[in-house]
Structure 1
């Protein structure tokens, strides 16, 4: 029998703290996304100081991403079992402590371990922020606004990564890329303790250990294999082995959840909720679109147009600002016009924007060939991402808020990881077929193919949205 303990604070107190709660979850999401990108610019300095090999250096980035995506479902379910506030504080504490260890690391091995621990802290933190939104912002308009702000904070984190990483590494030291999280985390922990009094204290259920092991290990193996594809090719045993193992473990996970788990980590009944199932499929597709936009546009600016990493970050800033504006606008529009019109409008922006961007070449100018289409794509991201998060989480019950948040985050992260591997392979294959012209022209041809494939993902999202009912909330 499930029993949930919920304190009931006075309405005035709850309403008065809403702004502080929203600021807290947005700051948490900002930190999670920021740390997936801020370290990139600091990698050369880290390699020099700690003696990383070229292969080992990649794990400063991949260790974080692997743990983040692999442990997300477990983090979401733990939020439901042990309490949203408790897991949010625990996630912030682990994230901050591992940041301190990473900033003080004297060996390459210790830094990689710290990055894995950071990713695990992020996997605890991110689903808890979504669960808090779902439980603290029950009214439709306020929930839409909260999701818009939450999505925008992630966008700010992604935009700030390259800029802040470059500035901190140049002005201070690469160590402050990690150490800066410590005082910020301490403040957020204090805010969480003060502002989230009165949230749920958890469900008296046991953790599904078999589901936790098979699900977490399966996701981690799958993502690890996909990460290896860029360096070893899809037919390598280093890719096929982990991907095959990951798929087998995920099949075992489904069997455990369906047949053997008395209290499943991921209740399969959730996929009977049409908005949850369809929303997560669209988030998988959206992950590839986000990768094409932010990652491959940055590569185009640097490898084709010759921009520095910092200048490329500045070149993407207008699109990031556009995303922030539109994300807030879509939050206001969602309760009025419904999910599907916003998703279809966003898909139209993806099709037009990526189609336009695919015409760029080595001799293109920034304003006409990059700025215009990326602004259009950013409009599409601002319309769709907050909307898809609402779709994928809003219809679940309060007792499942954490796991549904973890599932939505996992879908987006896995979609981005798989999308990166597939799109990078496609770009590399196309570039090798270009025999005439400069190396930058060959790279531009590969990136143009990526942008055309991303336009196709936009069409796929539009097609999947047909499975959603018409209605204000989807």
Structure 2
């Protein structure tokens, strides 16, 4: 029976997807030299992935609900592996950008399908606690180790291996997922919501596109304002269509009427914005101010990885006695404290004095948040909408990361100015860390004011959701009934 559990497959999938978000960053200078990217064109190695991943996550989650999570997961893994292989073999900037976009499409199918498969497979109580603990640890480890792996591969094997490295991982995940018991999706009762899918995907993609292009067009430029206005109009039309349709909608807004789902996604968006920006600027501080090479800079993120794992383990242990809302508040405050400490970096600083301590504090707080935010975002969601809820959670994090990088990158660049010295760069990075801490405090406010203090779907382990007394022990994550049917902006220099 154990061999049919999706936990191993989901763990490999989440590690791979998280690693792929950061593994390329350290190798960007070598990629530019190898393929002849222009400075502005190089940013699309990051943006192409963010656009397709962020824009298609809701559609990927809905596809998992409609056609089966295992089926969508396998298809997404195959596409992801082929895209990684194509990226490693790319001979021109256009080929690499196209491969990165294809990677994003595969990830948009894989991420929500894997998480929905996990929530459906584990019952309430200790099994779910452990499952979410493994998921959150692999999620964090992949993102943090991506910098280390990317630095080592770039320096000793070549930048192409930052693409190739995901191919064997996808093959392993595919093999493990193939052995998982297939889920039985409900028989489609209506035609797919094609119009809703087009509007949601176009609106979210255009939103990310407008944000990431602020490296060429400022936030107040006509190009940016028009792009964002069209994105908002498309998303508003999507909401109107979804509310009016009597067919099978892409998302039922009863999901967002659930305070746990709405609050967790708002919290996740703010945390995603803060973490992506802070992680990026910590890497820049190590390499551009402290003059540390890519491999050693990647190794210096290991304490961050260990801190996230430690925080995740602590969340599991506390989850049997502490409500998820409390863990999210505590984790947010601890991460904000770490970022505030980071904001005290100096131009003549050292890793031990300026990076190690705040890395441990911030990472432990982040690890404390991971499992509770997933369980909260899926609490009370019926099984036929688990993939949609998972896609929504992944989408909020990805959109938050893109918006955070763009906004904080612009602020840091403005503080740095046109002349990039060690002092001016440090001033810009310090401002970005201060703003990251502010975003975490805003996330804590969301947890306090939006998330229910005593959720109805509490079980022996509130941190991971569980049996709803009102449903005879039904699992609120997968079986509870509802009452109604980067931008990668580098400061000047």
Fold in common (TM above 0.5): yes
CA distance in 1 between partners of 2:394 and 2:15 (Å): 14
Residue-by-residue CA offset, 1:129-165 (whole Å, 9 max, x unaligned): 1101110012233223222211211222112222222
1:150-189 paired onto structure 2 within 5 Å: 150-189=135-174
Q: Does 1:17 align with 2:8?
A: no
Of 372-381 and 80-89, more deviation after overlay is shown by 372-381
C-alpha spacing 1:241/1:132, structure 2 compared with 1 (3 Å):
same
Residue 261 of structure 1, CA deviation: 5.1
Residue-by-residue CA offset, 1:299-357 (whole Å, 9 max, x unaligned): 22222222223222222210111111211221232232111221221122123222222
CA distance in 1 between partners of 2:165 and 2:345 (Å): 38
CA distance in 2 between partners of 1:218 and 1:323 (Å): 33
Residue-by-residue CA offset, 1:178-203 (whole Å, 9 max, x unaligned): 23333332232222111x22423454
CA distance in 2 between partners of 1:255 and 1:91 (Å): 30
Secondary structure, counterpart of 1:188 in structure 2: helix
Q: Does 1:96 align with 2:81?
A: yes
Secondary structure, counterpart of 1:35 in structure 2: helix
Of 274-283 and 365-374, more deviation after overlay is shown by 365-374
CA distance in 2 between partners of 1:351 and 1:112 (Å): 35
- The aligned counterpart of 1:452 is 434
CA distance in 1 between partners of 2:33 and 2:340 (Å): 41
1:272-351 paired onto structure 2 within 5 Å: 272-351=257-336
Question: Is the Cα–Cα contact under 8 Å of residues 211 and 264 in structure 1 kept in the other structure?
Answer: yes
Secondary structure, counterpart of 1:337 in structure 2: coil
Q: Does 1:443 align with 2:429?
A: no
Of 356-365 and 78-87, more deviation after overlay is shown by 356-365
Residue 465 of structure 1, CA deviation: 1.3
CA distance in 2 between partners of 1:35 and 1:444 (Å): 27
C-alpha spacing 1:192/1:202, structure 2 compared with 1 (3 Å):
farther
CA distance in 1 between partners of 2:31 and 2:429 (Å): 29
- The aligned counterpart of 1:192 is 177
The size of the alignment, in residue pairs, is 455
Question: Is the Cα–Cα contact under 8 Å of residues 79 and 202 in structure 1 kept in the other structure?
Answer: no
Of 336-345 and 212-221, more deviation after overlay is shown by 336-345
Q: Which of 179, 193, 217 is residue 232 of structure 1 equivalent to?
A: 217
Normalised by the length of structure 2, the TM-score is 0.88
Long gaps (5+) in structure 2:
455-461, 466-493
C-alpha spacing 1:220/1:54, structure 2 compared with 1 (3 Å):
same
CA distance in 1 between partners of 2:147 and 2:383 (Å): 37
- The aligned counterpart of 2:201 is 216
1:373-384 paired onto structure 2 within 5 Å: 373-384=358-369
Residue 258 of structure 1, CA deviation: 0.7
Residue 412 of structure 1, CA deviation: 0.7
Secondary structure, counterpart of 1:469 in structure 2: coil
Residue-by-residue CA offset, 1:346-402 (whole Å, 9 max, x unaligned): 122123222222122112232222211121111110111221111111321111010
CA distance in 2 between partners of 1:387 and 1:62 (Å): 29
Of 313-322 and 121-130, more deviation after overlay is shown by 313-322
- The aligned counterpart of 2:483 is none
Q: Which of 389, 407, 411 is residue 426 of structure 1 equivalent to?
A: 411
Residue 117 of structure 1, CA deviation: 0.9
CA distance in 2 between partners of 1:440 and 1:389 (Å): 39
1:40-51 paired onto structure 2 within 5 Å: 40-51=25-36
Residue-by-residue CA offset, 1:50-79 (whole Å, 9 max, x unaligned): 333332222222111111111000000000
1:19-38 paired onto structure 2 within 5 Å: 20-38=5-23
Q: Which of 97, 110, 123 is residue 125 of structure 1 equivalent to?
A: 110
Question: Is the Cα–Cα contact under 8 Å of residues 65 and 387 in structure 2 kept in the other structure?
Answer: yes
1:357-396 paired onto structure 2 within 5 Å: 357-396=342-381
Long gaps (5+) in structure 1:
1-12
C-alpha spacing 1:203/1:168, structure 2 compared with 1 (3 Å):
farther
Question: Is the Cα–Cα contact under 8 Å of residues 151 and 296 in structure 2 kept in the other structure?
Answer: no
Residue 220 of structure 1, CA deviation: 0.3
C-alpha spacing 1:248/1:121, structure 2 compared with 1 (3 Å):
same
